[in-house]
Amino acid sequence: MVAQPAKKQRFNALALFRNALSYHQNWEQQWRSPEPLEAYDVVIIGGGGHGLATAYYLAKEHGITNIAVLEKGWIGGGNTGRNTTIVRSNYLWDESAAMYEHAMKLWEGLTQELNYNVMFSQRGVLNLAHNLTDVRDTQRRVNANRLNGIDSIYLDAAGVKKVVPGIDLRGGGRYPVMGASYQPRGGTARHDAVAWGYARKCDEMGVHIIQNCKVTGFDIEGGVVKGVQTTKGRIGAKKVGMVPAGHSSVLASMAGFRLPVESHPLQALVSEPIKPTIDTVVMSNAVHAYISQSDKGELVIGAGVDQYISYGQRGSQHLAEETLVAICELFPQYKRMKMLRQWGGIVDVCPDASPILTSTPVDGMYLNCGWGTGGFKATPGSGHAFAAHIAKGEPTELTAPFALSRFETGFLIDEHGAAAVAH
Amino acid sequence: MSQDFRLPAGGRIDRSERLNFTFDGQTFTGYRGDTVASALLANGVHLVGRSFKYHRPRGIVTAGVEEPNALIDCNITAQEKGTREANNRATFTELRHGLTTKSVNAFPNLNFDIGEINSLMARFIPAGFYYKSLLVSTGMWHRVVEPVIRRAAGLGVTDEVADVSRYDGHYLHADIVIVGAGPTGLQAARVAAKSGARVVLVEQDTECGGSLLRDPVEIDGMDADLWVATVEAELAAAPNVRVLTRTTLSGIFDHNMLTALERVTDHLDVQDAADDHRPRMRWHRVRAKQVVLATGSFERPLVFRNNDLPGIMFAGAVETYLQRYGVKTGNTGLFLVNNDMALSAAIKAKDAGIDVTVVDVRSESTGPNTERLMAMGVPFLTNHTLVEAKGGKRVKAAVVAPMNGDGTAISGEMRTIECDFIGSSSGYNPIVHLHCQSGAKLDFDPTTACFVPGAPMGATPTISAGGCKGLFSLNDALASGASAAQEAMDALGLQAAEATVVSASEEAHPGSLHIRHLWLLPTDKPTSKGGKFWVDFQNDVTAADLQLAVRENFRSVEHIKRYTTLGMATDQGKTSNINALGILSDVLGVTIPDIGTTTFRPPYTPTTFGAIAGREPGDFLDVARVTPMHDWHAEHGALFEDVGQWKRAWYYPKAGENMHAAVDRECRAVRESVGILDASTLGKIIVKGPDAAEFLNRVYTNKWMKLGVGRCRYGLMLGEDGMIMDDGVSSRVAEDEFLMTTTTGGAANVLSHLEDYLQTEWTDLKVYLTSVTEQWAVASLNGPKARALLSELCDDVDLSPESFKFMEWKEATVAGIPARIFRISFTGDLAFEINVPADKGMALWTALMTAGAKYGITPYGTEAMHVLRAEKGFIIVGQDTDGSLNPHDMDMSWIIGKDKDDFIGKRSLTRKDMSDPMRKQYVGILTDDPKEVLPEGAQLVNVADAPASAAPKSPVPMQGHVSSSYWSSAAGRSIALGIVKGGIARKGETLIVPMPDGRNVKVTLTDTVFVDAEGARQHG
């Protein structure tokens, strides 16, 4: 027995109109909730954006549709639904740039691809430079981006002011804005819609999306994965792709290997919704803050990670405070804005702040994790590349540099040290 | 306009103080003690806003912080700029003289809002419509569709100029924090105060009293006012108690770290606030040993068709406006209830002379309130549903009908009852927000149909009491307040004082609800047809939207929230979530507790950014550090560079000089005569103890055990990954003491890195670290005339090269100041770094400048320093290295102690890739055109890969980048340093630098030393 595809009714204005006539009584399920089968060709662990995208591209590009996506809670409920939705590809290193630019190109057609409005908005992303070292590093990154075919330009302070009229270039005097890198194709997207859109298409092709199904162990025989133990029983699998975000090291230890990953809380907050006040995404590494305005009107604000290690999806108060200090420094007119909600997620961070997309010591088991604070922007690219890796059973040009073995060889892709950019 | 709806007497307002304010340009009056909402209602204004999505006309529905509809933008002072605050709850905004308020989300005006067209289209734009339509190209989305959506969304308007107010932060420590000063909290505070605990009582309202402010029953035979005043006086007299009113406890974090926002001047009349010396708000960070929550409960409304018309409000709100503000919410009222308690509002309304009808959805209604209403002759319909509210910008009538037994359908004739307001109540929700923030769970109480605090969790559980525990009887609440405080005293190890037993008359507050759960009132049409059943007022989420979400398999409460936007409005679901859960439980066929709630996150109510940021932004953000000689630099025209937290002199332009000319002059002075640099900012750490040498041996790559006292050595510090982390010269001061220097920006990181190892890895080492960066001022003399100059001011040390060698240091007296002189050089020239106690820095500097005049002594800044060291190929960590480069990469294999047992990073250096010959390596870079100064950060490519344009479409393989680049007079040309793949073996090779302007500049890879290659000068 295999999972059955089910052609979906297409989303468009006409469908909306037609359904309105029947008082929206006839919309079908966006994805179904089947009971798990005994076995699948591929089991994906983790129903976040990356896991669902992996399943989608496995089905669509590699013809593997007998797939289950196992999600311990509700799909998109981890970092997919907790991040600040920033999308950009202006990374320093070639390996990263290739991955994130691959994702960017997929983002640019994702709404059509999924027939689901993910509201990818190319409102542009600024990474601010506040001192001479920042300027030097920013220009280095912009030059590298340019030669990697990425639309990155350097703006001086006046150029920044033109793009974001509301910014205080003096930054209160302490952190003057001296310039910025600007990626016009960068922007934001509707995070939940990404998970739902992929889920809907997965379901259409027959992929099983199984929520409230926690993995409790692996069946490994002779170094080869045979299946997973879950709260819904054993599920056989020829291949297992793990995309577990904050809990990657927990799953790896179940499978008998260790990861160079630390899990930290990462916080974000939103203001009350207001009429449009800032159109561009503004990020500053020096003051550890980034800000954009959602289509709903909320200022969406992110911080750096909490320094301690934790699985609690909440952070410490002082970090949110420091982030708001930085925002009030750059945008003193927002002091009278009000914080509506603050929350946290768990990010798994590698020593070099780059992800892991890799085969593992267990045959048939593949791992995609370690996206740290910047995974959302990579969602389509990560899923696409990881699907190819799983389908072929070996690294692809895109995934090869991100192998687990790099921590043994020392071939690190150190975005931490070098890019000097908040992710 | 006159206050037509103000009762002739009663309420807690001060009728002697009339206050003028404006709403949407029209002037109104109210009284001291009013909120903006109560003053508007007193003037008969119900239409106060437009909803988020459909721009429906909306009125005031509550009398508190949970208000979803009545949001207003305020200008707190008469100044137009810098005081505008968006989205204030009119129900929680104290009225003051001169306040300017505006409705939100309406254009061109509140009465005629063009956005209301969305309401006409509502059928075509249900929950999540945007996911299914508007599937345009990415370009169209950002340029065409999204701007329309963005303009329509949002609520208030934020100011465009910087906020003029000041904010402050405050730290508090308490044995017990009690949240809420209603009867429960007051009773708890009394007990805690008598027990001798340090008490902080936090109340968001303007005064203590809580529910007693709207329902002044008798307590202990005392008028409630008198009782509250008595308790307040008791607390005020206790030195161990602090009462903070107008203060919202906004968040509970791990280990009872609490945050609270105190509104200090927002209630003052506009002119008084402008003149007040205090901050506008204070942000309290409170460490509490114990926390008692006495936060009370929120009422929730019943859900029926068109239940959002202005004039339809919560029954308790009607009562509050009558009792606390002396305001009638209309002349003809209909009360729609499913419980006993809410009927008290109808009684108060009738007492105030309002025509009242009661529609009770219960099949039987027999409580004392019912009896009283019947006795008053109020028409009382039981087992009736409200089929539909009629009206436009104000409710005009209600259509009611009898229901069948299980309340699922109407079972008789519909009839219309005229009314100009409806007070509705579907029960009460304990305010469990803070309980949940502390990490604890909830239980569902089916009797009262609400979530109550569940078992406490974690190391520092909070204790709930009174209404927020689901105790709706006043006597129960009073008793639980006392016992909660006693429980907290026990936990603190304090002898808990006996509570003064108090009781209120049972009749006044029976507390029994006899509630009937009807989450969606039966009507004559399905929820998706003929008018909407509003659940989340602000975000326009209807019962049909919830049903649609479930139909599409959004079954998790989090999915439903995110798909419909339920509970995501500025009230964060305070008025909507439980009703939504009730409706969903019917649709999903599961119980409410099985659905569960979404997460309660801080803050409890929206919290001002500026208050949270406090005094930090501006001058107090990373306060600039300056050296003892800073004023001299400033007086002599220096421009400054931010390095870490320090202000360092960058260069000293003379009149008419540009940066290039100034830096060139400064560089030449050093090479030809003598220059002076303020090097005080370098990190300085004393490493002291019997194991000091061993410690350095482990943290640096090279050997330190045998360095003699009086000698200096350059060290390279690696991270665990084997990459260069910092560098600097350390000097042996004594057998057991070294003075380590670090980079200016890296000092703090290095110190914590070292402490980390000492405290967690090498606990056996006897070493102490002390930062002395600020204790020493350092003037660095560089250049061939340095010795001649120094010898004029120093006669107690032989400065000759024979007796004071390069890489030695000596104690000396310079210009009469006790000093340490280090013969170390970052310019490659003869150099003496003179360290004196910080307070003598300026004296040293001016003495050197005076004595140096005849040598043409020239102060030089960081830019010249960078050029001078680049001429010698000396690296700057963080500029030439970037955290991805190891010592081999920087051609510094010589600094790795070959036979050392261990040092930080050693293991990592053995990894295969770390010695790969094609790693990026440190090289010199010379342009073919000696006048071309490359931009720092420029990339290098192979000649064969030179791109045809500045922005090639596909990736061009890059070989490395330019990390440092300058004009060098000493070299007579431009010089540059950089890192290039396999660069050390490629010296002599030609590469291309593709410039941002599209030019391809030819360069040759070279050695990294451009001046004095044999290194004779520094030994001079």
Token duo for residue A97: 């740039």
Using a CB–CB cutoff of 8 Å, tell me whether B142 touches chain A.
yes
Q: How far apart are alpha carbons B752 and B622 in whole angstroms?
A: 18
CB–CB contacts below 8 A, A to B: 350
ipTM: 0.97
pLDDT band (50, 70, 90) for residue B215: confident
Q: How far apart are alpha carbons A103 and A87 in whole angstroms?
A: 9
Q: How far apart are alpha carbons B110 and B24 in whole angstroms?
A: 8
Short-list A100, A135, A103, A107, CA closest to A123: A107
Contact at CB, B160 and A149, closer than 8 angstroms: no
Contact at CB, B912 and A408, closer than 8 angstroms: yes
Write down how long chain A is: 423
Q: How far apart are alpha carbons B71 and B569 in whole angstroms?
A: 11
Using a CB–CB cutoff of 8 Å, tell me whether B891 touches chain A.
no
Q: How far apart are alpha carbons B770 and B715 in whole angstroms?
A: 18
Check: CB of residue A95 under 8 Å from CB of residue A81: no
Largest CA distance in chain A: 67
Three-state secondary-structure class, residue B922: strand
Domain B683-765 has CATH 3.60.20.10: no
Phi, psi of A212 (to 5 degrees): 55, 40
- Structure confidence by residue, pLDDT tens digits, B84-132: 999 999 999 999 999 999 999 888 899 898 888 888 888 999 999 999 9
Token duo for residue A42: 């591929």
Token duo for residue B135: 């599937």
Short-list B113, B57, B67, CA closest to B90: B67
From the CA of B529, how many Å to the nearest CA of chain A?
7
pLDDT band (50, 70, 90) for residue B81: confident
Contact at CB, B618 and A144, closer than 8 angstroms: no
CB burial readout B61-81, b (16+ within 10 A) else e: bbbbbbbbbbbbbbbbbeeee
| CATH number for the segment(s) B167-297+430-492 | 3.50.50.60
The predicted model scores a pTM of: 0.95
The set of residues, in sequence order, having a beta carbon less than 8 Å from that of B752 and lying 6+ positions away, is none
State residue B217's pLDDT score.
86
State residue A419's pLDDT score.
41
Check: CB of residue A53 under 8 Å from CB of residue A379: yes
Using a CB–CB cutoff of 8 Å, tell me whether B609 touches chain A.
yes
Check: CB of residue A218 under 8 Å from CB of residue A225: yes
State residue B507's pLDDT score.
60
CA distances from B117 to B46, B74, B113, B534 (A): 21, 27, 8, 18
State residue B412's pLDDT score.
93
The set of residues, in sequence order, having a beta carbon less than 8 Å from that of B231 and lying 6+ positions away, is B186, B187, B189, B190, B208
User: Residue B893: how many CB atoms within 10 A of its CB?
Assistant: 15
| Burial classification of residue B111, based on how many CB atoms lie within 10 Å of its CB (0-12 exposed, 13-18 middle, 19 or more buried) | exposed
Does the structure show a pLDDT above 50 at B288?
A: yes
pLDDT band (50, 70, 90) for residue B205: very high
Check: CB of residue A160 under 8 Å from CB of residue A167: yes
Which residue reads 């059928």 in tokens? B123
Check: CB of residue B977 under 8 Å from CB of residue B928: no
Contact at CB, A352 and B721, closer than 8 angstroms: yes
Using a CB–CB cutoff of 8 Å, tell me whether A412 touches chain B.
yes
State residue B510's pLDDT score.
63
CA distances from B205 to A163, B65, B91, B261 (A): 43, 10, 11, 12
State residue A422's pLDDT score.
39
State residue A423's pLDDT score.
38
Question: In A, which residues are within 8 Å of B554 by CB distance?
Answer: 30
Using the Cα atoms of residue A7, residue A13, residue A15 and residue A19 in order, give the sign of their dihedral: positive
In chain B, where the domains are located: 167-297+430-492, 301-426, 534-588, 683-765, 917-1018
CATH of B301-426 among 3.50.50.60, 3.40.50.300, 2.40.40.20, 3.40.50.720: 3.50.50.60
Do B167-297+430-492 and B301-426 have matching folds?
A: yes
Phi, psi of A34 (to 5 degrees): -75, 160
Three-state secondary-structure class, residue A71: coil
Q: What are the residue ranges of helices labelled H in B573-731?
A: 577-588, 592-595, 609-613, 630-635, 659-672, 692-699
The set of residues, in sequence order, having a beta carbon less than 8 Å from that of B580 and lying 6+ positions away, is B535, B536, B541, B546, B560, B566, B567, B573
- Structure confidence by residue, pLDDT tens digits, B538-585: 999 999 999 999 999 999 999 999 999 999 999 999 999 999 999 999
Three-state secondary-structure class, residue A283: strand
Domain B917-1018 has CATH 2.40.30.110: yes
State residue B115's pLDDT score.
87
State which residue of chain A sits closest to B947, comparing Cα positions: A147
The set of residues, in sequence order, having a beta carbon less than 8 Å from that of B86 and lying 6+ positions away, is A272, A274, A336, A337, A338, B73, B104, B155, B156, B157, B158
CA distances from B433 to A319, A342, B179, B608, B648 (A): 21, 14, 12, 19, 49
DSSP B557: H
CB burial readout A236-270, b (16+ within 10 A) else e: bbbbbbbbbbbbbbebbebbeeebebbbbbbbbbb
- For Cα atoms A89, A91, A93, give the angle at the middle one, nearest 5 degrees: 135
State which residue of chain B sits closest to A106, comparing Cα positions: B138
CB burial readout A299-310, b (16+ within 10 A) else e: bbbbbbbbeeeb
- Structure confidence by residue, pLDDT tens digits, B487-530: 999 999 999 998 877 777 666 566 678 999 899 999 998 888 87
Using a CB–CB cutoff of 8 Å, tell me whether B247 touches chain A.
no
User: Residue A206: how many CB atoms within 10 A of its CB?
Assistant: 16
Does the structure show a pLDDT above 90 at B936?
A: yes
- Structure confidence by residue, pLDDT tens digits, B723-750: 999 999 999 999 999 999 999 999 999 9
Q: Mutating which of B102, B553, B577 best tests the A interface, going by the most A Cβ atoms within 10 A? A: B553
DSSP B98: T
Element containing residue B4 per DSSP (H, E):
none
CA distances from A35 to A56, A233, A235, B215 (A): 19, 11, 11, 55
Q: How far apart are alpha carbons B639 and A90 in whole angstroms?
A: 32
Q: How far apart are alpha carbons B589 and A70 in whole angstroms?
A: 24
DSSP codes, A324-370: HHHHHHH-GGGGG-EEEEEEEEEEEE-TTS--EEEE-SSBTEEEEE-
Contact at CB, B132 and A316, closer than 8 angstroms: no
Walking along chain A (423 residues) 10 residues at a time, the average pLDDT comes out as 81 94 94 97 98 98 97 96 96 95 98 97 96 94 96 97 94 87 97 98 98 98 98 98 93 96 94 96 90 97 88 85 93 96 93 94 97 95 98 97 94 67 38
| Burial classification of residue B618, based on how many CB atoms lie within 10 Å of its CB (0-12 exposed, 13-18 middle, 19 or more buried) | middle
DSSP codes, A18-64: HHHHTTT--PPPSS--PPP-SEEEEEEE--SHHHHHHHHHHHHHH--
State residue A418's pLDDT score.
44
Task: Give the β-pairing of B47-50 and B57-59.
Answer: antiparallel
State residue B512's pLDDT score.
79
State which residue of chain A sits closest to B124, comparing Cα positions: A20
State residue B1's pLDDT score.
52
Token duo for residue A47: 């129903």
Cα-Cα end-to-end distance for chain A: 43
Check: CB of residue B977 under 8 Å from CB of residue B920: no
On average, the pLDDT of chain B sits at: 94
Contact at CB, A117 and B133, closer than 8 angstroms: yes
DSSP B434: H
Using a CB–CB cutoff of 8 Å, tell me whether A162 touches chain B.
no
Using a CB–CB cutoff of 8 Å, tell me whether B913 touches chain A.
yes
> Per-residue pLDDT averaged across B205-220, rounded?
91
Using a CB–CB cutoff of 8 Å, tell me whether A262 touches chain B.
no
Rg (CA), chain B: 38
Contact at CB, B556 and A73, closer than 8 angstroms: yes
Contacts with A, B 754-783, CB within 8 Å: none
Q: How far apart are alpha carbons A225 and A365 in whole angstroms?
A: 6
- Structure confidence by residue, pLDDT tens digits, B833-867: 999 999 999 999 999 999 999 999 999 999 999 99
Q: How far apart are alpha carbons B519 and B163 in whole angstroms?
A: 44
- Structure confidence by residue, pLDDT tens digits, B435-470: 999 989 999 999 999 999 998 777 788 999 999 999
Check: CB of residue B532 under 8 Å from CB of residue B542: yes
Of residues B251, B599, B914, nearest to A317 (C-beta): B251
Contact at CB, B162 and A408, closer than 8 angstroms: no
Of residues B83, B151, B935, nearest to A139 (C-beta): B935
Of residues A73, A143, A324, nearest to B937 (C-beta): A143
| Burial classification of residue B684, based on how many CB atoms lie within 10 Å of its CB (0-12 exposed, 13-18 middle, 19 or more buried) | buried
Which residue reads 């149909």 in tokens? B449
